[in-house]
Each structure stands twice: as C-alpha cells, then as structure tokens.
C-alpha cells in the first residue's frame, strides 16, 4: 500500500480550513436547531447496541460532508481494512494489530484456532473458579498495570449485575506498596486466587506486586499451618502473559497466553479478561465479545456517513485541529462505568499521544486531546462549573443507560433528568437578561444587579455528544468499548500517526532504573540539581 496522505496534506483539509473560517468558528448550535427541525434525526446514528446523538455538536451537514471527504482522501477505509486484514500497521514494532480477531466467531477471524483454543481453556478455568463450593476461592486479586489492569478493573464493576455473588474482586496495580498492603490486609490466603497479568511479564510494578503477594501467601499459609510451596503456588497463582517462559520461572504452572499482535490497551478481550470471565461467567464473557464483534462489523461495513466510530473520530479531529479544543470530558451517567474515563485515558492518550507521523516527521498540528471525567451526577458537583462557565470550551460525552438493573426507578429517572439537563444547559446557556430577570436567593443583597447577572450568565453553545444504551449488558458494553477503539483508530489514521506503540513510557522507565540504586546509596553524582536535591530529601 502506498503511503496514504496525512490529513493536512489533503484538499479536504484546505476546504475544512475555509469552512471553519466562514461557518465553523462562529457556528451556533442553537441557531442550527432553529433553522433545521430535522437536525436531531439527521445527526443521530444507530450503531449496534449504541445510539449516538451528535446533534448538539458544533457541526452542520457541510462540516460532516467535508470531514467525510477528508476521511476518503486519507484513505481511511483502506487503512482500516489493512488493520483488519492483519497488515503490520504498528510499523515501529513491525506488528499487526488484531484485537478484532479476539472477538471474531470461531472459524472467522485471523488465528482463529489459537484464539478459540485459549478462550475455551480460559473459560473452562473461569467456570472452575466460579464453582466456589469446589474451588474454595472467595477472593480474586488481579495484579497488573495499564492494559493488564484497566480493562478488567473497568468491566467488572460495569457488569456488577452479572457478577458472581460469592466472589470478591480486587485490583492491584501501583508499585506503591500501599496498594497491595491494603488489599492483602483483608484476605485469607487459603481462599485467595492471584492472577498475575502482564503481557511482557517484566513490568516493574507487576513483578514487585507479584513477589509481594507470593511472600505474603507463603507467610500466611505457614502461619495458618496450611500447605504452601510449589503446590500452593500452582493452585493460588495463575499467569496471563505472552511470556510463558517468565511466568514458569516465577513458579506459575497455570498460564493463559496471548500474542504480540494484541496491544496492552486492546487486551481485555484476550486472556487478560480472566478476572472478567471469572466474575461474569463464560456465557456473559462470550456476549461481551459478541457485542464488540457486532461493532467491528459496523466499523468494517457501514458507509462512512453512518459509521459511528468514524463520525466520532472525525468530530474529534474537527474539534482538536480546527476549534483547537484540547480536552474532552467523559461523563457516564452510570455508576458502574466509574472507571471508564480512566480506561479511555489509556486507550486514547497512549494510542494517539504522538508528535511525529509514520515517517517520523514532526507534526504541525495537535493530536490526542486530554481525556478525563467522572460519573454523573458526581462530576456535576465538582468540575461542571468550569464546563459551563469556564474560559475553555470542553466537549462533553454523556453516556445514558435507559434501563437500570436496580429497582429504584425514581432515582434512575432523577439520574437521567440530570444527564439531559447538563447537555441542555451546556448548549442553551443563559443570557444576562434572563439571569437579571431571575431571583437569586443566595446572592448578596448589596451587589449591583447587572454585575450579578454577568456572574450568573452562561455562554451556552458548548458541544456535547450523548451516547445511549438500552441496558448495560455484556453485549452493549462490548460494543461501546469497541466503538471507542475504532474511533481512536480513525483519528489516529487521519493524523497519520502510529496509534499502536507507546515509546513515551520508555524514558521514565530507564531513568527509574538508574535512580533506584541511588535512592538507597544517596549517590547524586552527575544528576541535575533539582533531581539531586529531591533525591537527598527522599533517600532512605
């Protein structure tokens, strides 16, 4: 495949620049709704299990038209097909990117025999653990970090309604010993299963925590007069890794493998999903995969103009490179999705936080926005003030789930009313006149009326997307996560970057290895003055 043009080297990019100056910069979404009664329907997209209302975004049909031209000129479909076909699109590591193969039905995707062989074994093992009367396990501790932690840590609470009630799940990631100490404190070694999850099985944090867990396990078993040793390790420790040799050297005898064509942040569908499979069972885990596969088909087959991940990725480019918005806030109105913003931070910022193109040429435009957020309604009582009245425009992504899995219907209505109210308020704002006409019971009685009105004015025209799921089922969650993956692919492809490497974490790791012995010895020779000064303060 000859190199596809980078977004800024296309005619569509120039056309978008002109469109932005003429119509984009001063676009008012309130006027757009007034002009076009069909706007909501025209900018609604139904993808498998996920509906998206794009109509509160700062786009009109012309914007979408130019953005689709951009996608075509950047040969997005060709790039997508290359990824799906297993071409080595992760060029700096010379690897294909095939997380979609992990959720393809048996016999349909690449490496199907390998994928389904491991999946069958993994789910069989998970079912064994779930049979708590036989397995004797009550607590599952996942030890991993980044992609070997965030996916399971996000999915298990999200699917709480499906989680085995006889099992408790714990996630240890930080090399900070406070993390594992707090988890171990409440556990009984005899009924605890440790999953050591690491693609490489070399990650400092995970190895340190795994060793701490093993030492604690040995000590506890000795204290309790129970058998530890190799047999205990074999029963109570399971590995998930591409590095089977290192897992064996650690003393782990049960290991589920995966492959170097699965990126860490795209790995919850692989054996890294073991805590999820234990939590929700094999049928539900397969449903999670099926939902993701349905979104994969949509991404692969839907025309660009109705392709949800593509449209979201295009709007991301529009906001980042034309409006110059630097961040996006994610507000899931579902407490189960409390870790989704953290999960998306890794997915998007580790994938697209790049400053050179595929040829290594420095980019003259911005790439990944900062992705951040909290579940609603909590965020409303924290940072939403800034979203409504701050000086920066931050697009917000609301996620609403129509049917809860609890019986508190009235509370659910309150939750959804809040969700709708926030996107409405961001868009509509409040004029100074409207503010002046209101009573403000908590306002100072001495403040000038006009000054107060200016404090109480909302500019409005602040964009948002609302994603709607019917119920947060395993299938719907799978589709939602896959949608985000493909959206990240879309913006990354247009920017002409490699969304699948992460060299940015290397330098800190190397410097850490160099500083570690100095923290014990106190040696500051050759260090910059700041690092030397701090090291002296912290050395123990």
The residues carrying an active-site annotation are 350, 381, 509
Strand pairing category for 50-53 and 464-471: antiparallel
The minimum distance between CB 101 and ligand F6P, in angstroms, equals 19
Residue 197 or residue 415: which is nearer to ligand F6P going by CB?
197
Q: Look at strands 370-373 and 254-257 and give their pairing.
A: unpaired
Torsion of CA 341, 342, 346, 347, to 10 degrees: -40
| Burial of 254 from C-beta contacts in 10 A (0-12 / 13-18 / 19+) | middle
Among residues 24, 48, 109, 146, the one that binds ligand F6P under rule CB under 6 A: 146
DSSP 458: B
- Which 76-135 residues touch ligand F6P, going by CB under 6 A? none
Q: Which of 4, 102, 145, 292 binds ligand F6P (CB under 6 A)?
A: 145
Which residues, including other chains, have CB under 8 Å from residue 303's CB and lie 6 or more apart?
none
Rounded Cα–Cα distance for residues 71 and 487 (Å) = 12
Q: What is the dihedral of CA 512, 514, 518, 520, to 10 degrees?
A: 60
Q: Closer to ligand F6P by CB, 307 or 346: give it.
A: 346
Stretch that binds ligand F6P, among 6-14, 66-74, 140-148, 455-463 (CB under 6 A): 140-148
Site string for ligand F6P, 461-480 (x = CB under 6 A): --------------------
In the bound complex, what is the minimum distance in angstroms from residue 272's beta carbon to ligand F6P?
A: 8
Query: Residues 336, 343: contact at Cβ < 8 Å?
Result: no
**For ligand F6P, the closer CB: 170 or 199:** 199
In 3D space, the residue among 405, 409, 332, 406 whose CA is nearest the CA of residue 372 turns out to be: 332
**Piece in contact with ligand F6P (CB under 6 A), picked from 193-201, 289-297, 299-307, 320-328:** 193-201
Site for ligand F6P in 205-234 (CB under 6 A): 206
For residue 167, CA distances in Å to 14, 109, 335, 349, 499 come to 57, 33, 20, 33, 36
**Cα dihedral sign for 283, 284, 289, 290?**
positive
Q: Which of residues 48-87 bind ligand F6P (CB under 6 A)?
A: none
Site for ligand F6P in 489-518 (CB under 6 A): 502, 505
What residue has token string 């805590």? 275
How far is the C-alpha of 46 from the C-alpha of 537, rounded, in Å?
57
Cβ-based nearer residue to ligand F6P, 135 or 351: 351
* 200 near ligand F6P, judged by CB under 6 A: yes
Nearer to ligand F6P, 53 or 350 (CB): 350
**Quick check: 264 binds ligand F6P (CB under 6 A)?**
yes
Where does this chain touch ligand F6P (CB under 6 A) — which range of 141-149, 406-414, 493-501, 518-526? 141-149
How do 44-47 and 50-53 pair as beta strands?
antiparallel
Q: Nearest-CA neighbor of 485 among 149, 147, 148?
A: 147
Determine the size of the site formed for ligand F6P (CB under 6 A).
Answer: 14
Token pair belonging to 433: 């006149």
| Closest separation in Å from C-beta 164 to ligand F6P | 25
> In this chain, which stretch among 192-200, 282-290, 406-414, 474-482 interacts with ligand F6P, using CB under 6 A?
192-200
Nearer to ligand F6P, 403 or 513 (CB): 513
Q: What are the backbone dihedrals phi and psi of residue 52, each rounded to the nearest 5 degrees, phi first?
A: -125, 125
The least CB distance from residue 61 to ligand F6P, in Å, is: 39
Question: How far is residue 459's CA from residue 380's CA, in Å, rounded to a whole number?
Answer: 17
d(CA 429, CA 461) in angstroms, rounded, equals 7
By CB atoms closer than 10 A (0-12, 13-18, 19+), residue 41 is exposed
* Rounded least distance, CB 504 to ligand F6P, Å: 9
Rule CB under 6 A: say whether 10 interacts with ligand F6P: no
**CB of residue 505 to ligand F6P, shortest distance in Å:** 4
275 sits near ligand F6P (criterion: CB under 6 A):
no
Scanning 65-73, 143-151, 327-335, 466-474 for contacts with ligand F6P by CB under 6 A, the matching segment is 143-151
**In the block, residue with structure tokens 């500051």:** 524
Considering only residues 338 to 367 of the shown chain, the ones binding ligand F6P according to CB under 6 A are 350
Candidates 48, 147, 232, 291; binder of ligand F6P (CB under 6 A) is 147
Query: From CA 241, how far away is CA 250, in angstroms rounded?
Result: 12
The count of C-alpha atoms lying within 13 angstroms of the C-alpha of 329, restricted to the half-sphere facing its C-beta, is: 27
User: What is the closest distance, in whole angstroms, from the C-beta atom of residue 289 to ligand F6P in the complex?
Assistant: 20
Please select the residue that binds ligand F6P; options are 6, 19, 170, 199, rule is CB under 6 A.
199
Q: Which residues lie near ligand F6P (CB under 6 A)? A: 145-148, 198-200, 203, 206, 264-265, 350, 502, 505
């Amino acid at each position: 495949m000859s190199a596809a043009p980078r977004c800024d080297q296309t005619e569509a990019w120039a056309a978008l620049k002109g469109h932005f100056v003429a119509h984009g910069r001063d676009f008012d979404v309130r006027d757009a709704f007034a002009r076009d009664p069909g706007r909501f329907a025209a900018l609604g997209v139904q993808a498998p299990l996920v509906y998206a209302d794009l109509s509160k975004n700062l786009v009109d049909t012309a914007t979408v038209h130019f953005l689709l031209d951009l996608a075509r000129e950047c040969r997005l479909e060709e790039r997508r097909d290359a990824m799906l076909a297993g071409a080595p699109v992760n060029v700096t590591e010379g690897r294909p990117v095939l997380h979609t193969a992990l959720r393809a039905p048996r016999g349909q995707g690449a490496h199907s025999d390998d994928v389904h062989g491991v999946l069958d074994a993994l789910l069989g093992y998970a079912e064994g653990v779930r049979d708590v009367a036989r397995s004797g396990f009550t607590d599952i501790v996942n030890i991993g970090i980044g992609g070997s932690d965030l996916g399971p840590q996000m999915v298990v609470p999200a699917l709480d309604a499906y989680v085995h009630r006889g099992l408790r799940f714990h996630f240890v990631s930080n090399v900070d010993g406070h993390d594992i100490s707090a988890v171990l404190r409440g556990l009984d070694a005899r009924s605890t299963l440790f999953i050591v999850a690491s693609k490489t099985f070399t990650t400092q944090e995970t190895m340190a925590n795994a060793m701490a867990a093993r030492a604690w396990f040995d000590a506890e078993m000795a204290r309790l007069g129970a058998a530890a040793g190799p047999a205990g390790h074999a029963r109570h420790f399971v590995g998930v890794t591409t590095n089977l040799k290192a897992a064996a050297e650690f003393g782990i005898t049960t290991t589920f493998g995966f492959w170097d064509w699965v990126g860490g942040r795209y790995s919850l569908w692989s054996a890294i999903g073991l805590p999820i499979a234990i939590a929700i069972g094999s049928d539900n885990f397969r449903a999670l995969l099926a939902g993701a596969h349905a979104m994969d088909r949509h991404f692969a087959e839907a025309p660009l103009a109705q392709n949800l991940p593509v449209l979201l990725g295009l709007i991301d480019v529009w906001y980042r490179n034309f409006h110059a918005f630097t961040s996006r806030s994610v507000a899931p109105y579902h407490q189960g999705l409390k870790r989704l913003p953290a999960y998306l931070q890794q997915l998007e910022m580790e994938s697209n936080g790049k400053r050179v193109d595929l040829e290594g040429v420095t980019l003259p435009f911005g790439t990944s926005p900062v992705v951040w957020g909290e579940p609603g309604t909590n965020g409303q009582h924290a940072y939403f003030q800034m979203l409504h009245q701050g000086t920066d425009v931050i697009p917000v992504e609301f996620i609403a789930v129509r049917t809860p899995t609890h019986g508190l219907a009235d509370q659910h209505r309150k939750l959804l009313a809040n969700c709708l109210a926030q996107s409405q308020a961001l868009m509509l704002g409040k004029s100074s006149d409207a503010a002046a006409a209101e009573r403000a019971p908590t306002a100072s009685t001495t403040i000038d009326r006009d000054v107060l009105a200016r404090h109480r004015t909302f500019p409005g025209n602040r964009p948002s997307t609302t994603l709607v799921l019917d119920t947060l089922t395993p299938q719907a969650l799978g589709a939602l996560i896959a949608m985000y993956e493909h959206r990240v692919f879309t913006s990354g492809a247009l920017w002409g970057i490699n969304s699948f490497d992460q060299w940015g974490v290397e330098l800190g790791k190397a410097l850490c290895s160099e500083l570690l012995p100095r923290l014990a010895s106190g040696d500051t020779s050759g260090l910059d003055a700041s690092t030397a000064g701090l090291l002296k303060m912290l050395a123990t």
